[in-house]
Homo-oligomer: A and B are copies of this chain.
Amino acid sequence: MGRKRTKSGKIRLAEVAELAGVSPITASRFFRNPEALSVAKRTRVESAAKELGYVPNLAARALASQRTEVIGVLIPSLTNNVFSDVLRGIYDASEGSRYSIQLSNTRYSILQEEKLLRLFLAQKPAGLIVTGIDQTEESRAMLEAADCPIVQIMEIGPNPVDMMIGFSHYDAARAAIAHLFAQGHRKIGFVGARMDPRVQRRLDGYVSAMKDAGLFEQRFVVTTATPTSVTLGGALFTDLLAREPDLDAVFCANDDLALGVLFECRRREIGVPEQIGIVGFNDLEFMASAVPTLTSVRTNRYEMGKTAATMLIEAIEGRRPEQPVLDLGFRVIERQSSSSRHPDNRPALSGGAAPNKMVALPSSHD
């Protein structure tokens, strides 16, 4: 049943120190800063610890040192594929380090975020990763006053609290529309769900690109606050078609919606891309596999998470990165669903302030 066993044989630092023939404080130092010990004592403590199977008591450490080795992570959703990739990056980066991850879900509510932030901060985390740049005023103040490094992820913008890593959703959307223009599409609709700040900025990018071309029409835009889903993609597309039957392409705020649009086209026997072009956002794995393959804007989610955690840990340990704000860019991955109405292909469009920082996107699966 696993309920028995009362006192586990606790090995304290003092025991290790005794066995090693050093003072407790020296043993303590071994675990925090081994370089500070002479080689002789270092090996003595090391073998003593191993022999006794010593595991430090984190609570005591936290109490005595007035700081924890916890990195708080605030993300809006646990199930959105986008965040699970980011999370995986964060966990991968934290692995092997002394830091552990404390994750909380804001459910896309900045009020909830504020509440969680208060909770986190009270425990004096070693560092904090927060999503986006749209915090409440109160949250912002807490973050600025916080006594630990902070990374804002998912997007970049002015006035970072501390560090920042992401890309411009606005520019990415503009690049997607530019691609559609280049392929000869003109009447381009927008479907968006959830409409969190990042989706909103994609919409803004879409609107500006369309306006720049003198092609914007309010009826081309269909959005909802409802959480995204494949099914919803179909429904929103249906709305869009009802408003504008002559549509020749759709830019979807994410790939789930794009897949839903694709299925809806199939249901209605609308040819893709002959009659309707489709572009998604995020470049989830299935996009390359769909029939026809679906164009999307690739974002470096895994790397974003991994780099954010790495930067944070570096900063915690006193090595602040030379570049506190990192633009990871994006890339329009051109596939069949948006292919040219005129048969001319061109290279992939890239964007972001640091396109050279781009790396291959790891598989979405682990």
Residue in B68, B143, B229, B260 whose CB lies within 8 Å of A363: B229
Contact with B along A78-115 (1 / 0, CB 8 A): 11110011011001000000001111110100000000
Pick out which of these stretches binds chain B: A1-9, A181-189, A195-203, A241-249.
A1-9
CB A292 to nearest CB in B, in angstroms, measures 9
On chain B, the residues within 8 Å of A59 by CB distance are 58-60, 62-63, 68, 123
Give chain A interface residues in 53-68, CB to chain B under 8 Å: 55, 57-60, 62-63, 68
Q: Are B3 and A149 in contact (CB under 8 A)?
A: yes
On chain B, the residues within 8 Å of A68 by CB distance are 59
On chain B, the residues within 8 Å of A230 by CB distance are 285-286, 289-290
- Greatest chain B CB density within 10 A among A85, A124, A148, A291 is at A291
Q: Is A238 an interface residue (CB 8 A)?
A: no
Contact with B along A4-45 (1 / 0, CB 8 A): 111010000000000000000000000000000000000000
On chain B, the residues within 8 Å of A123 by CB distance are 57-59
Residue in B1, B101, B145, B227 whose CB lies within 8 Å of A5: B145
CB A125 to nearest CB in B, in angstroms, measures 11
CB A83 to nearest CB in B, in angstroms, measures 9
Contact with B along A319-348 (1 / 0, CB 8 A): 000000000000000000000000000000
On chain B, the residues within 8 Å of A364 by CB distance are 79, 229
Q: Is A266 an interface residue (CB 8 A)?
A: yes
Q: Is A288 an interface residue (CB 8 A)?
A: yes
Q: Are B78 and A91 in contact (CB under 8 A)?
A: yes
On chain B, the residues within 8 Å of A259 by CB distance are 286, 289
Q: Are A55 and B263 in contact (CB under 8 A)?
A: no
Please name the residue on chain B nearest to A91 by beta carbon. B105
Assembly CA distance A107 to B87 (angstroms):
14
- With A60-B63, A84-B79 in contact, is A231–B285 under 8 Å at CB? yes
User: How extensive is the interface on chain A, given as a class?
Assistant: 35 or more
Q: Is A365 an interface residue (CB 8 A)?
A: yes
Q: Is A366 an interface residue (CB 8 A)?
A: yes
- Greatest chain B CB density within 10 A among A4, A122, A228, A266 is at A122
Contact with B along A205-234 (1 / 0, CB 8 A): 000000000000000000000011111011
Residue in B6, B60, B144 whose CB lies within 8 Å of A2: B144
Assembly CA distance A3 to B234 (angstroms):
47
Q: Are B289 and A162 in contact (CB under 8 A)?
A: no
Q: Are B227 and A1 in contact (CB under 8 A)?
A: no
- With A5-B145, A103-B103 in contact, is A227–B363 under 8 Å at CB? yes
Assembly CA distance A72 to B263 (angstroms):
40
Q: Is A267 an interface residue (CB 8 A)?
A: yes
Contact with B along A344-366 (1 / 0, CB 8 A): 00000000000000000001111
Contact with B along A153-194 (1 / 0, CB 8 A): 000000001100000000000000000000000000000000
Other A-B pairs, 14, CB within 8 Å; known A3-B147, A80-B365, A267-B291: A1-B144, A2-B161, A4-B145, A5-B146, A8-B147, A78-B87, A78-B88, A229-B289, A229-B363, A229-B364, A229-B365, A230-B286, A231-B288, A260-B289
Which 9 pairs, one residue from A and one from B, show the smallest C-beta to C-beta distance?
Answer: A59-B62, A55-B122, A230-B286, A227-B365, A59-B63, A231-B289, A266-B291, A230-B289, A79-B84
